[in-house]
Structures are given as C-alpha cells and as structure tokens.
Structure 1
Amino acid sequence: MIEFIETTKEFQVGQSTVKALNHINLTVQKGDIFGVIGFSGAGKSTLIRTVNLLEEPTAGQVLVNGINLTSLSKKQLREEKKKIGMIFQHFNLLNSKTVFENVAMPLELAGTQKTIIESQVSEVLAFVGLEDKANRYIDELSGGQKQRVGIARALVTKPKILLCDEATSALDPQTTKSILELLKRVNIEFSITILMITHEMEVIRDICNRVAVMENGQIIEEGNVLDIFSAPKEDTTKNFVQSVVRDDIPLSIYEQLKENNGSKRVYNMKFIGVDVGQPVVSQVAKRFNVDVNVLFGNITELQGIPFGHLIVELVGPKAEIQKAFLYIQHKNIQMEEVSAHEGERANHYRRSVGYAVHG
C-alpha cells in the first residue's frame, strides 16, 4: 500500500518557489493498478518519484507499506527500495551491456550470488518473452522489446510495488497494448501493486481499476475507473474522458437550442452494463408523441463492463417530452439535459485547452 499524507514538494526556481505537489492526500491499496493522469506540469511525475525518494517531499509523508522511508537509515532504505521497482518512458537501459546484463544490474549492485542472479534473470526474461534475446545488445531491440527489458529489470528483485513513469508514451498503439497486457499479468501473477502515471486516458481505460486526476500539483478528482468515466465532475477530467469516449456535442446543436421554443430537448443518455442492450429509443418513439433523433452514440468497455453514450434530441409537445424523459429515467438510465448555456461553457473550455471548435 502507498499512502500520501499532506504530501508537498517545492522547487526553488530562481527567486521563486514552485509548489509541484500541494498537500496531496491519496491512498493506493494493495493489488491496485492505480493510474494518475494529468497534463504536462500537473505534478504527476514528481508524485511518483516521491514513492522511492527520487524526490524527497518538502512536507508531509509518503508511506510505503506503512513505513515512512524518510525515517530510515541508509541501510534500511536500501532494503525497502528493493521492494519498489520502476520502469521509465525512455527505458534507461545501457547500450553497452547485453539484455541479460541490464536485467542483472540491480542484483549485482546488491551483491547477489552469481547462481541466484542467473536463475532470477532467466526467470524474468522468460516471463517477458525475451529469453531468446538474453545475449543481444540493447540497440538491436525494438522499442517494445526495450520496454520489456525495463520491466524485467524492475521485476528481478521481486518487488511488491511497481512504479510506471509514462511507460507506454514512447510506443506505438499496438506495442502499447502488448505492454499493458504484460503489466496486467505482472499485477495478477505476482500480486504486485502498480502505480502508473500517464497523459493517455486509453491507458487508464485499458488497465487501471482506480484513477486520480492531477492539476496544478493537486488531486482534483479520484475514484474507480467506471465512476470517473461515467460521471466525471471536473472540466479537466471531462476533457480526458472525451478523448476516449466521445460525447461532446457539435456547437451547431447548441446554437439551435438558443432558438428553441420548447418543442425540443437534447439529452445525454448514459448506459452501463446490461442497460446497454435496452431498445429504449425505439420504445420511446412508439409510446410517446415525440420524434427521436440520434445525434451521436458509442460503446466502450471499462473493466469488462460495457459503457455507452447516446446523445438524442426529443421533438414534440412539452408534456410528451417530459413523459418520455421520466420513462427513460425509470429504466435506470442516466439522463442529462443539454442546454444552450452549457454550449457556451463548452465553447469557452474547448478554446482554453486548444480544442478545434467545430459546428
């Protein structure tokens, strides 16, 4: 388990003090694959580096399995750090050494016996699928193979925690998928807790069970992945979610709503689990005196659970629209009305984050 308690990290930049972490309170439970996402400069890299004291907190605590590493002697700290593995965005491998030698380095530095080194290195290379590359040099490998070497090196000391610092952002989508599948195996087969930082919401969707969103050195939203994807609260979180689950509405629709005389309403419908298969739209069209126009829809999968968005326009008498709205709500489907005012806010936010405004 990893626990951040009022964790603060400040850097001195010239005459100014920059607060990279601002009173972080966050708990990563044993067995989690916990993702931390944020834009560049949000503080996520600093956060993960405080876990193994690559960055020492200015104030507050970071507890690893209940132990505050800053309170340990150098010898005790070395022993605890063996329980924390780390993989990096740009691999951090030595081109002058073979795959075997790179993976063996943590054990050699710890003074491990040669026979044990040979056994443990061979074991982890087989696990990551590189047993046939043991004697190759690093510059002979592909990017995905290099990251597998990095994972093997992190696993060779048999850690309890694995820190992933943008571990897939330098890889192509297909290789990213294979690395994420490997990390899932690491989590399940070795019971290793994984804390990973990323700026890719696809990574959060595909591997994490919990996620925290960072902005300006603070956690602005945190929860299980299904809850965050289905009901994001903060604008930054919504922006990340929309990069994977497209539910943003063309601004032309908002413009039409400004001239609405009450005969139409636009709703964002959210389906989770078995609700995805309900023929709600056709039922509404049959039961009520309304026309139903589907403006946008998609289905994705989160932690094995289907999750769908459907943006619909209901056109007809106010009373019939209200009946249709209540009918859909009784089906346990989330319904959020889309207003012209929300369009103005969406337009402002898209411009502030560099979205291409469409419609």
Structure 2
Amino acid sequence: MIELKNVSKVFESGEKQVTAVQDVNLTVEKGDIYGVIGFSGAGKSTLLRCVNLLEKPTTGKVVVNGRDLTAISSTKLREARKKISMVFQHFNLLESKKVYDNIAFPLRLAGEDKPTIKNRVDQLLEFVGLSEQAEKYPDQLSGGQKQRVGIARALATSPDILLCDEATSALDPQTTASILELLKRINREYKITILIITHEMQVIRDVCQKVAVMENGKIIEQGSIFDVFSNPQTKTAQNFVSSVMNDRIPKSILHLLENDSRHIYRVTFVGDSTGYPLLSQVAKRFHVEVNVLHGQITELQDIPFGNLIIELQGKEDEIRRAQLYINQSVQLQEVLADAN
C-alpha cells in the first residue's frame, strides 16, 4: 500500500542544509493502522508529507498502490492524491463555511453534482455523529467536534489512505479517546489504511497495530506494537514506552538496591501466563518469601501484558532454585542499581 524506499528530505536555507528525513525505509500494508512516533524535530511530519508529495523527497522513492509517485507527471499525481487524505492537528477548517460546506468542499472541487454531494455529506455527518451540527460554523464547535468535521471532510472523496498529522494533540484525553475510537471504526468499516504521526505513545498503544520510532530524521526502531512495547530496543523507544506503561522503577525501590544482599527482579508476564498464580506457587514450592514491590497488568493488542518488580527473600540456594523455576514460565531479569 505505502512503501518508502531510502527516502531523504533536505531543506536548503541560504548556504545551510537541514536534513529532516534521512534514508528512511518504511512499509505500511493495506488495512494497517501504522504509527510513527518521535519527539519534536524528529522529522515525522516531514516524512508524512512525503507520502503524498506535499514535500517531494530529495532522494528515494514513494510507492503508493504500486505506483512510484516521485516518477509520475503532475497531472497523474493530482489524480493519485484523491485517494490520499489528511487530517490535521489544528483542523484546517474553513471558518467562514458551515460544517456541511466544509465537508462538501472537496466534493465540489471534484465536480460532483448536488444530489451526490448531499448524499455523501449526510452519510458522513451521521458517521461522525454530527448530523445536528450541519448548519453550525466551526467557531460554534468544540475541539473534538471540529476534528470530527476534519475527519469527515477527509473521508468525503472515499480515500484509500488517511494520513493523520498529530490529529489528537490539541484535544483533551477524553476527546482523544473518542477520536481514536472513530479512527479504528474508519479502519474497520471503510477498510482505509491509516498512517498516524504523533508524539503521544498512548495514541500509538490505543489505536495502532505497528509503530516506527523516529529520531534525528531516521527510523531507529520499528515493529508490531506488542514487540516494541514489550521489548523496546533503543533508549528513545524505552522512554516512550515507559511514559504509558508505568514500568519505571520508583526511587524508593532503587534505594533498596544500595543493600547488596537484596534480590530484586523484574518479571514480565505475557498472554495466558498473566492468569497463572506463578508467584504464589514459588512461595509454596521453595523456602522463599515473594514481595511484590511495583507493577501493573495491561493489554497490548488484546494480549495481556504484565510487568512486576519483586523481591525474593531467603537463602541463596533457595533463591537460585526459585529463579530457575520462574524463568521456565516468564521472563525474569535482575534489577540493577542503574536500572533507570
């Protein structure tokens, strides 16, 4: 569906050159909800705009639906863009136009007749839950309602791909959740491929199936949500994951590590193992005390995922036996003083 091959984008300012995107390779399969996350200045928004060639890559190829957009004429590019819509952070609505006319705008540009426009706009107003707001102006709407108008407008031309540039960054958490549910519904019911750019890891966790992490214009890590969240490989990814998974070890626990005789471990549970009373069994089978110090169980792509910090107390040989037993079922990793 979307394939970026060795894409780079260099901006020139006088005698200076700024590389916003550097040698990026990325594949988004048909039907994916794919997230790209990074801090401000990572190059993610520039990367997104390369997909529909609002920013033409300096080098590399952008292949959409099997067609290299960097190698076609401007006329064919305009046609290709009709199947690639965008949703913006600050809505980009026409303030002088009513909700109905904002949604109808791309259809009028496409030369559709009035009955077709009315049917499509009415359908989309109902889909995004704004049928009663059709005659209102944008300044009469809440932020969430404005974004729903922006999404409806983006869907007007029945695109194959929806590009979302920080689409929830201007919204409160409750409204963000409702917009993410709407995006999942769009993906499910309209079979639209969605590429989301964000700096909010919770957005990635709640809606995406795959994720790429950007830093300094490069993709430094990518994979399924479960793989990246359960075992982030880079420091940047680890920081993002920690921001939503609450897996940082509290200072009060790190303080315990100053005593060399403490045996403190991180235990990672995945899937069915979260429902098995493993730690209870450890306490029964071995002469050790199990002290749960910190942790939580959440879900990643409907798969239970648990992360606990525990302390084992007892004789050294019994602790070693308990470690071996735990490692047969779940991941056990000793927590060191520099764990954070």
TM-score (norm 1): 0.92
The whole-number CA distance in structure 2 between the counterparts of 1:264 and 1:277 is 27
Conserved? CA contact 2:99–2:137, under 8 Å: yes
Corresponding letter in the other structure for 2:284: K
- CA positional deviation for 1:90: 0.2
1:138-157 correspondence runs (5 A): 138-157=138-157
Q: Does the Cα contact within 8 Å between 2:9 and 2:57 map onto a contact in 1?
A: yes
Q: Which amino acid aligns with 1:127?
A: F
SS in 1 for 2:94: coil
**Amino acid across the alignment from 2:61:** Q
CA distance in 2, matches of 1:320, 1:235: 34
1:321 Cα deviation (Å)? 1.4
1: CA distance between counterparts of 2:324 and 2:130?
57
SS at match of 1:5: strand
TM-fit CA distance, 1:101: 0.7
Q: Does 1:336 align with 2:333?
A: yes
Could you say which residue in structure 2 is the equivalent of 1:20?
20
| 1:176 to partner: Cα distance | 0.7
Residue 284 of structure 1 aligns with an amino acid whose one-letter code is V
Which residue identity does 1:317 align to in structure 2? K
Q: What residue is the counterpart of 1:50 in the other structure?
A: 50
The CA distance in 1 between the partners of 2:54 and 2:75, in whole Å, is 16
Q: Which residue of structure 2 aligns with residue 294 of structure 1? A: 292
What fraction of aligned residue pairs are identical, expressed as a percent? Answer: 61
**Within 1, Cα distance between the matches of 2:128 and 2:77?**
28
Contact 1:264 1:316 in 2 (8 A): no
Q: Residue type of the partner of 2:313?
A: V
- TM-score by length of structure 2 reads 0.97
Match of 1:304 among 295, 302, 305: 302
Structure 1 gap ranges (5+):
347-359
| 2:164 pairs with 1:164 | yes
Q: Shift in Å at residue 316 of structure 1?
A: 2.3
Q: Show the counterpart of 1:274.
A: 272
- Count residues with an aligned counterpart: 340
The CA deviation at 1:41 is 0.5
In structure 1, the residue corresponding to 2:23 is in which secondary structure? strand
Cα displacement (A) at 1:93:
0.2
Rounded to whole Å, the distance in 2 between the matches of 1:129 and 1:162 is 19
1:351 is matched with which residue?
Answer: none
Question: Is residue 2:88 matched to residue 1:91?
Answer: no
Pairs within 5 Å for 1:5-154: 5-154=5-154
**Alignment partners' CA distance in 1, 2:219 and 2:108:** 38
Q: Secondary structure at the match of 2:80?
A: helix
Change (3 A) 1:77 1:294: same
Query: Equivalents in 2 of 1:84, 1:257: separation in Å?
Result: 53
- Deviation at residue 74 of structure 1 after TM alignment: 2.1
Residue in structure 2 matched with residue 230 of structure 1 by the alignment: 230
Residue aligning to 2:205: 205
Does the CA contact (< 8 Å) of 2:256 and 2:262 recur in 1? no
Q: CA deviation at 1:258?
A: 4.2
Alpha-carbon offset, residue 115 of structure 1:
1.9
Using the alignment, how far apart are the partners of 2:161 and 2:293 within structure 1?
Answer: 45
In angstroms, what is the RMSD of aligned CA positions?
Answer: 1.3
Corresponding residue of 1:357: none
